[in-house]
Structures are given as C-alpha cells and as structure tokens.
C-alpha cells in the first residue's frame, strides 16, 4: 500500500551502505519512476547525470578540491567525507533542473517538479530495498565546472544510493493536527 511505503521512506547515508553494486536496470527503473512526476505545462524539468565506477571518485575529488579552494579554513574531516562518501555509494545521481526556456511558469514550480521526481525515486528505492538520500551541499553552485550543463540547467544536489544491511530506525512525526488549520 502506498501509505505504508511513504511512512517507511528514510534517509540512508553512505556510512550505512555495503559494497553491493546497484544493477543498471534498477537505476533505470528508479529514473523511470522520476519521469512520471507531476509537471505544470509539461515542462518535465528534471535532468539526471548518473555516476557509477570511477565517476563517483572523480566527483568526490572535485568536491573536496572545490571545498578547499573556496573555504578560508577547510576542515580535514569534511575534506575526507567529501572524498569518501561518493566511493561508498553504489551510484550517485546528480539532480538537475532544466529551466523552461520560455519561462512559462515560476522557477519554484520547476524546482517543485524536480523535487517530486526525486520523491518518486526515493519511494522506488524504498520499495526495492535500496538506501538513498538527497544531498544538496553549497558546492552544487560550482557543478557547471564538473558537468556540461545546458543553458538554463542547474544542479540541485546529489541522490546517493546504496544497498545496506540491517534495519533502518523508525521515524516519528509530530501529529498532523498541529500543522493544519481547518476553515469552514
């Protein structure tokens, strides 16, 4: 049931991933789920760049060098994490948004459509038993130096994915009644 799947969805981080690879067919299924997100005016603004193998390590090195270059006092712990996390992932998908060239809808609606595509990916991963999370470090603003981005395309973050062992902790939410105002 979809409600149970929604409640089961969790952020699973690279430190929790094991060494099992993710089949290309599974990644393709996850991306196909993304492609069915709602989109105003059918702009379909989501764009993805899939990194596996050596590309993950290259991403980690780029992020760590860019961090050291732009940070006045870079922390070695963060440098190490930027290098190591991509290597731990089974795959990383750069989450990008291609702005409608005619700007028929507000920018935030395009971002929302991409976020819904990512939610579809997340739910698909949950159903398939693949851990994942969306990372959006400040360094994404430099990704045009790493990727060939089209005019109007921006990187919004990275979708880390990996198989994991064991159970993921239960999650709680405050009651929805605390967040809703009924008006009659």
Predicted local confidence at residue 92, as pLDDT = 98
Q: What is the mean pLDDT of the chain?
A: 96
pLDDT at residue 167 tops 90: no
pTM for the full predicted model = 0.95
Residues at the annotated binding site? 40, 134-136
pLDDT at residue 171 tops 90: no
C-alpha span between 167 and 147 (Å, rounded): 35
Residue 153 parent element (H or E): strand 153-162
C-alpha span between 77 and 35 (Å, rounded): 36
CATH code assigned at 170:
3.40.109.10
C-alpha span between 106 and 101 (Å, rounded): 12
pLDDT at residue 21 tops 90: yes
Predicted local confidence at residue 48, as pLDDT = 98
Domain-embedded: residue 139? yes
Domain-embedded: residue 76? yes
Predicted local confidence at residue 41, as pLDDT = 94
Domain-embedded: residue 184? no
Residue 96 parent element (H or E): strand 91-98
Residues at the annotated binding site for FMN? 40, 134-136
**CA-based angle 115:129:89, to the nearest 5?**
70
Question: Is the CB of residue 133 less than 8 Å from the CB of residue 158?
Answer: no
pLDDT band at 104; cut points 50, 70, 90: very high
Question: Is the CB of residue 161 less than 8 Å from the CB of residue 89?
Answer: yes
Number of domains composing the chain: 1
pLDDT at residue 168 tops 90: no
Domain-embedded: residue 107? yes
Q: What domain range includes position 125? A: 2-179
């Amino acid at each position: 049931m979809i409600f149970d799947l929604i409640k089961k969805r969790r952020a699973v981080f690279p430190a929790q991933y094991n060494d099992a690879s993710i089949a290309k067919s599974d990644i393709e299924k996850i991306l196909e789920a993304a492609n069915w997100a709602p989109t105003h005016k059918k702009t379909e603004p989501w764009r993805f760049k899939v990194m596996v193998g050596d590309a993950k390590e290259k991403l980690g090195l780029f992020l760590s060098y860019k961090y050291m270059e732009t940070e006045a006092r870079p922390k070695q712990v963060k440098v190490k994490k930027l290098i190591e996390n991509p290597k731990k992932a089974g795959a990383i998908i750069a989450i990008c948004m291609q702005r409608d060239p005619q700007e028929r809808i507000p920018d935030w609606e395009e971002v929302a459509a991409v976020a819904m595509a990512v939610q579809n990916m997340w739910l698909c991963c949950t159903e398939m038993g693949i851990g994942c999370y969306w990372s959006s470090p400040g360094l994404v603003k430099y990704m045009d130096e790493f990727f060939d981005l089209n005019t109007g395309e921006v990187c919004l973050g990275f979708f880390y994915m990996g198989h994991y062992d064991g159970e993921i902790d239960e999650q709680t939410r405050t009651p929805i009644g605390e967040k809703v105002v009924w008006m009659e």
